[in-house]
């Protein structure tokens, strides 16, 4: 038996509860993992609160991320005792996830835990941190170098935003953070932000082209915020878009693209190729130190995860939530 956060939906309604389950109920897979730590991402919160169409197979064990130790493996790439990270690939959506003490997964989707990280530290980053690193890699591929100009991070107190701020500052960029939480300015500056602006500057409709402010942008918000970020990006700049906290619409024009040569780079973490995942985790291990991880992290037990998911959706969480299994 093992404990898991189980999501159920039937004729009687929706239920999220921590339950003891039999290991025999785990889905097919070639790696059995003892999950030591997981986390609550925005997508997890939507699933746990039944606030969005995340789960597509019922019942579902929540948790798109996990880190732990391999117990059994029929995949030749892994053996018992290996320490691994799981991110995405439909886990917690179409197959049982990692907010549980056990998970059966596909070995082809796992990444070896970097020696620099404990499982707790890896999950303090999780998909949010891994996505932030993918965004930074996207900026680098488009030639954005330190000293090129200010880089904007939206949704800055969230998981992606917090890690992106720390990464960009570590690399030497001048980071401006947009947030609706003025009280968190000191937190963002501890992560390396040089300036903090009110998200209201970006969240309402604006002109198709605005004053050129940003050499690059990491956006986890979408909708009107993304449109304004594009309208303020300097000639030849790049915007890495990875989220939709404000909305999935894009109510803008082509003007930034055809008059300023701005690039909109979409960043997907769920189905990213394994080599890109390995690159992201290798770079995270080189750039993020323990002190930064501690700054952005709150740890809870599995029984507290449902409440924390609700708090995250209500905007009452900053940084990252690690779930101890």
Res 63 pLDDT > 90: yes
pLDDT of residue 59: 96
Mean pLDDT of 47-52: 93
Residues 6+ apart with CB under 8 A from 306: 5, 16, 17, 18, 48
Task: Write the pLDDT tens digit of every residue in 28-46.
Answer: 999 999 999 999 998 999 9
Res 133 pLDDT > 90: yes
Mean pLDDT of 183-193: 95
Res 315 pLDDT > 90: no
| Percentage of the chain exceeding pLDDT 70 | 100
Average pLDDT, the chain: 96
User: In this structure, which CATH number among 3.30.460.10, 3.40.50.720, 3.30.565.10, 2.10.240.10 belongs to the domain 128-266?
Assistant: 3.40.50.720
Q: Which CATH class is domain 2-113+290-324?
A: alpha beta
In the chain, what are the domain boundaries?
A: 2-113+290-324, 128-266
Res 94 pLDDT > 90: yes
pLDDT of residue 209: 98
pTM attached to this predicted model: 0.93
Q: Confidence band (pLDDT; 50, 70, 90) for 285?
A: very high
Q: Are 218 and 197 in contact (CB under 8 A)?
A: no
* Residues facing residue 2 across a β-bridge: 21
Q: In whole angstroms, what is the distance from residue 183 CA to residue 175 CA?
A: 18
Mean pLDDT of 87-94: 94
Res 319 pLDDT > 90: no
Torsion from C-alpha of 95, 105, 290, 316, nearest 10 degrees? 10
Task: Write the pLDDT tens digit of every residue in 135-150.
Answer: 999 999 999 999 999 9
pLDDT of residue 31: 98
Mean pLDDT of 186-209: 96
CA-closest candidate to residue 244, choices 163, 126, 154: 154
Q: What DSSP string runs through 216-285?
A: EEEESSBHHHHHHHHHHEEEEEEEEE---SSBS-----SHHHHHS--EEEE---SS--HHHHHHHHHHHH
Q: Confidence band (pLDDT; 50, 70, 90) for 318?
A: confident
CA-closest candidate to residue 154, choices 116, 190, 188: 188
* Residues facing residue 140 across a β-bridge: none
Mean pLDDT of 51-72: 95
pLDDT of residue 170: 97
């Amino acid at each position: 038996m093992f404990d898991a956060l189980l999501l159920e939906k039937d004729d009687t309604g929706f239920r999220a509860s921590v339950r003891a389950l039999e290991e025999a109920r785990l889905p097919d897979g070639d790696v059995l993992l003892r999950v030591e730590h997981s986390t609550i991402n925005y997508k997890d919160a939507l699933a746990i609160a039944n606030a969005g169409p995340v789960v597509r197979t019922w019942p579902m064990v929540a948790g798109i991320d996990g880190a732990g130790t391999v117990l059994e493996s029929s995949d030749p790439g892994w053996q018992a005792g290996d320490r691994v990270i799981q991110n995405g690939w439909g886990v917690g959506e179409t197959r049982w996830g990692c907010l549980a003490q056990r998970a059966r997964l596909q070995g082809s989707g796992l990444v070896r835990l970097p020696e620099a990280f404990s499982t707790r530290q890896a999950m303090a980053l999780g998909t949010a941190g891994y996505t932030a690193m993918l965004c930074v890699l996207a900026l680098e591929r488009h030639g954005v170098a330190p000293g090129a100009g200010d880089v904007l991070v939206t949704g800055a107190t969230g998981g992606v935003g917090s890690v992106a701020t720390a990464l960009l500052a570590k690399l030497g960029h001048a980071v401006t953070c947009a947030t609706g939480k003025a009280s968190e300015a000191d937190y963002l500056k501890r992560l390396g932000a040089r300036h903090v602006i009110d998200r209201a500057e970006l969240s309402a409709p604006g002109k198709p082209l605005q004053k050129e402010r940003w050499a690059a942008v990491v956006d986890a918000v979408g909708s009107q915020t993304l449109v304004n970020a594009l309208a303020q990006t300097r000639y030849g700049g790049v915007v890495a878009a990875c989220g939709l906290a404000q909305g999935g619409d894009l109510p803008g024009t082509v003007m930034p693209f055809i008059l300023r040569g701005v690039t909109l780079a979409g960043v997907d973490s769920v189905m990213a190729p394994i080599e890109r995942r390995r690159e992201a985790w290798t770079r995270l291990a080189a750039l993020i130190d323990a002190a930064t991880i501690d700054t952005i992290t709150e740890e809870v037990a599995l029984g507290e995860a449902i409440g924390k998911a609700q708090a995250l959706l209500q905007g009452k969480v900053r940084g990252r939530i690690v779930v101890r299994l």
